[in-house]
Amino acid sequence: MWAYIIRNFLQRCVLLFIVSVMAHSIVHLAPGEPSEVDPSNPRMQPEDIKKIREAFHLNDPLYLQYYYWMRDLFTGELKSFKDSQPVLPKIWERFLNSLPLFICATLIVWTLAFPTGIHAAVRRGSAYDRGSTFIAYALISIPGFFLSYIMILWVVDTFGVPVIGMRTFGMENAHPFFQTMDRIWHLVIPSIMSALTGIAILSRYVRSQMLEVISQDYVRTARAKGLDEDTVIYHHALRNALLPFVTLFGYLLPSLIGGSVIFEYIFAWPGLGRLGYEAILSRDFPIILTINFIAAALTLAGTFLSDILYAVVDPRIRLE
């Protein structure tokens, strides 16, 4: 067990290094440089561009630029091309903004998708099953940004309250209780809108997996033994149907990086995905590379966690 964990961990460290090298090479080989973001700026003189390139080692070979990037990243001295601010505190601030949105959306998805999918599988062919299937495919087909704009217009027109941003303008001096309630209100709408597609997709997976499990012989045997339906469904069938979702659980970690960039832009939410998109537009290499590195690390950590959870959930699996 421990030999497998150590070997798997070392393999992922090597893979992370390879991914970082490839990402660094692709970003720097792409057309355009930070000094070319606004060539029409009259204040940008050739000597200023030269100083920028020297300050950020853009004249050095790629392998030296990679070394400087990794050195500055792990020493905390990496700075943004755009505003010369430290990269890690900047990313951490946006991460803290994205975290509540991610947690709320994830809780909504996993709380609603499983009962919906299980109920549809148990009552296969019923009006509920057909209705939930229709709604799920409709939510998958309709773009999320379109529904978000409709929701914003409806909420503002019906209730006359703001839903854009993380807080209402002018609430800075209000009582802490009202500030907290205002923050929760601004969190509700984007969380629901970003969770709709996830509910539709995950509920279909749950329904499909439950239909496959409840037709197995051990489920029929449990019913033949006289067990009540809830015990058969939730104790015997659901436990075995959960195995494929262990993999999905592992991929929740990389969703922290840019999982809701579209909704962050629509609702003017200053999150991490929005920061990455703005960095791409401004060719801010340190921000782009650092976010990519963190996303790769979270992806590898998520898959590693999934492998470990498989052995915990299913005793038949042995990590040899």
231 against 311, higher pLDDT: 231
Is 72 inside a domain boundary? no
Per-residue pLDDT, 18: 93
Per-residue pLDDT, 34: 59
pLDDT in tens, 211-239: 888 888 888 888 888 888 788 888 778 87
pLDDT in tens, 124-161: 889 999 999 999 999 989 888 888 889 888 988 888 88
Is 296 inside a domain boundary? yes
d(CA 308, CA 289): 29
d(CA 167, CA 187): 9
> Helix H segments across 267-318?
272-281, 285-313
Residue 183 pLDDT > 90 = no
Cβ–Cβ under 8 Å, residues 164 and 152: yes
Is 254 inside a domain boundary? yes
Q: How many residues does the chain have?
A: 320
Is 11 inside a domain boundary? no
DSSP helix/strand/coil, 79:
strand
DSSP helix/strand/coil, 129:
helix
Cβ–Cβ under 8 Å, residues 19 and 5: no
69 against 45, higher pLDDT: 69
Average pLDDT (268-273) is 85
If we measure between CA atoms, which residue out of 94, 277, 263 comes closest to residue 164?
Answer: 263
Number of domains composing the chain: 1
Per-residue pLDDT, 131: 93
The CATH number of the domain holding residue 305 is 1.10.3720.10
- Span between the terminal Cα atoms of the chain, in Å: 6
Is 33 inside a domain boundary? no
Residue 320 pLDDT > 80 = no
Is 58 inside a domain boundary? no
d(CA 10, CA 186): 42
SS3 content of the chain, % helix, strand, coil (to 5): 75, 0, 25
Q: How confident is the model at residue 53 (pLDDT cuts 50, 70, 90)?
A: confident
Is 127 inside a domain boundary? yes
Residue 140, domain extent: 87-313
Angle 9-11-17 from CA coordinates, rounded to 5°: 105
Percent of the chain with pLDDT over 70: 88
- Residue 161: count other Cβ atoms within 10 Å of its Cβ: 11
pLDDT in tens, 279-293: 888 888 889 889 889
d(CA 9, CA 154): 49
DSSP 137-184: HHHHHS-HHHHHHHHHHHHHHHH----SSSS-TT-TTS-HHHHHHHHH
Name beta bridge partners: 79.
86
158 against 256, higher pLDDT: 158
If we measure between CA atoms, which residue out of 138, 132, 120, 97 comes closest to residue 267?
Answer: 97
Cβ–Cβ under 8 Å, residues 8 and 307: yes
Is 186 inside a domain boundary? yes
d(CA 208, CA 136): 13
d(CA 245, CA 304): 14
d(CA 106, CA 305): 18
pLDDT in tens, 33-44: 655 545 455 566
